[in-house]
Structure 1
Amino acid sequence: MRLMMIMLLLLPGAVFATQDAWPALYDVVDVANDDVLNIRAEPSARSEIIGSFPPDRTGIEVLRPSDDYRWGLVNAGERTGWVSLTFLVAQPGQWYGAYPRISQCSGTEPFWSLTMDDPSKLGNLLGPGGEGTGVSLSDPSSPTITATITREAVAANRRDRYAFQAEGPETDMSVVFFLQSCNDGMSDREYGIMTDILLRRDGEFSHLSGCCSLSR
């Protein structure tokens, strides 16, 4: 046993690969075709039902588990609720330390949104032969700008910090993601990822901050 522990300490990647990532995308399983998976106000089967997922729903973003790991926190409209993890299965390739497949980010005052063309390609540039994906940044006061991710990185001393650089004809941006709770300040929705964006557009330099989601 002692030898096994020493080997695991020498192979941190193997240890982290066994740990669940939060937030993560899940699919509904074992729910009858004529039934639904209820979303409840609290992590309890006796709690108020505030919404539901159909039996074939995929790509549900679970922000974090309950203390007993029996329930998962999800967004339901403009608020959050809890679903039973018994009826959810995690999509593959999600473990603590894996580059998160972020779909979109947004912020308020000023309102802006950042959308990834193909989230499945995030993290591809960490290895040889990888291909970046496109990103689009929009806000009500300016035309939408597009760029392509050219570099990606994971923090050297942490596994909950990620970054990429994107370049385009009208802009370049450096984006950092933090795996931690975030609120948009406009609703009771929660997010599990924060972001800071350093943006150069038309010769002007600006800093945007907001929340990110794995789902659209």
Structure 2
Amino acid sequence: MFRTALVLTLALAGPALATQEYILPSLFDVSGVAANDVLNIRAEPDAGAAIIGALAPDATAIEVVEERRGWARVNAAEGSGWVSARYLSYRTDVWQEGELPAAFRCLGTEPFWDAKVEGGDLVLRSPEDRAGDRRAVQAVLDTGVFRDPARVLVARDMTLFSHPQICSDGMSDRLFGLSATLVIHGDSPRMLSGCCTIQP
């Protein structure tokens, strides 16, 4: 009797409760907003807070970096704000074993750097090197925990560590859901720190 009730409860609650809970950051689609309306982005996780932006009713692949009491933190322009989580639908295709989301990218300041995978290479760019330093990717490692976004990207003479943590780029009011540490090997090893995003 209890088992039947539990299955029915999960079925009525929808897929978010029927599957293992996601780990942020992850991507969501706007859902349940009227076609002639928008999903407001507010300065604080409160329905009375100032509106600082909006998402279209058909917006997709919105990166959520934090949740708080039914509100989801998203980035808009150069700032960070909150939308009601009840109007977001979780995507199950974001974090796959041994893979990176298509838009995965890391960046940092002091010094400025940007790294992402292009054509099987990890490409590290800086203001002084726009073409980028390309290193062949050898492996993408994960924890083995279902939907855990922590990743280690192993490339020739470079290793990029990324794990879930609220992170600031130090240059804007945006907040990211992944921190990054990039280790460059070789005769003069060095370490860069920053944040990562999966927002397309």
TM-score by structure 2 length? Answer: 0.78
Q: Tell me, what secondary structure is at the counterpart of 1:215? A: coil
RMSD, aligned CA: 2.6
Alpha-carbon contact 2:27-2:61 (below 8 Å) kept: yes
Match of 2:66 in 1: 64
Give the direction of change, closer, same or farther, for the CA distance of 1:156–1:83 in structure 2 (3 Å limit).
Answer: closer
Alpha-carbon contact 2:31-2:89 (below 8 Å) kept: yes
Alpha-carbon contact 2:30-2:58 (below 8 Å) kept: yes
Match of 1:125 in 2: none
TM-score by structure 1 length? Answer: 0.73
Q: Work out the CA distance in 1 between the residues paired with 2:150 and 2:61.
A: 23
What's the CA shift string for 1:108-150, capped at 9, x where partnerless? 01111012338xxxxxxxxxxxxxx433210011241223321
Alpha-carbon contact 1:174-1:198 (below 8 Å) kept: yes
Query: What is the percent sequence identity of the aligned residues?
Result: 35
> Which of 165, 169, 172 is the matching residue for 1:180?
165
Structure 1, unmatched stretches of 5+, are 2-16, 119-132
One-letter amino acid of the structure 2 residue matched with residue 138 of structure 1: R
Q: Tell me, what secondary structure is at the counterpart of 1:21? A: coil
1:3-14 alignment to 2 at 5 Å? Answer: none
Structure 2, unmatched stretches of 5+, are 3-18
Query: How far is the alpha carbon of 1:76 from its aligned partner?
Result: 1.8
One-letter amino acid of the structure 2 residue matched with residue 83 of structure 1: V
Q: Work out the CA distance in 1 between the residues paired with 2:193 and 2:105.
A: 13
Match of 1:144 in 2: 132
Match of 1:90 in 2: 90
Q: Which has the higher strand share?
A: 2
Give the direction of change, closer, same or farther, for the CA distance of 1:145–1:98 in structure 2 (3 Å limit).
Answer: closer
1:1-216 alignment to 2 at 5 Å? Answer: 18-66=20-68, 68=69, 70-93=70-93, 101=101, 103-117=104-118, 133-142=120-129, 143-155=131-143, 161-167=150-156, 172-200=157-185, 203-216=187-200
4+ runs deviating over 4 angstroms: 97-100
Larger displacement relative to structure 2 (147-156 or 137-146)? 147-156
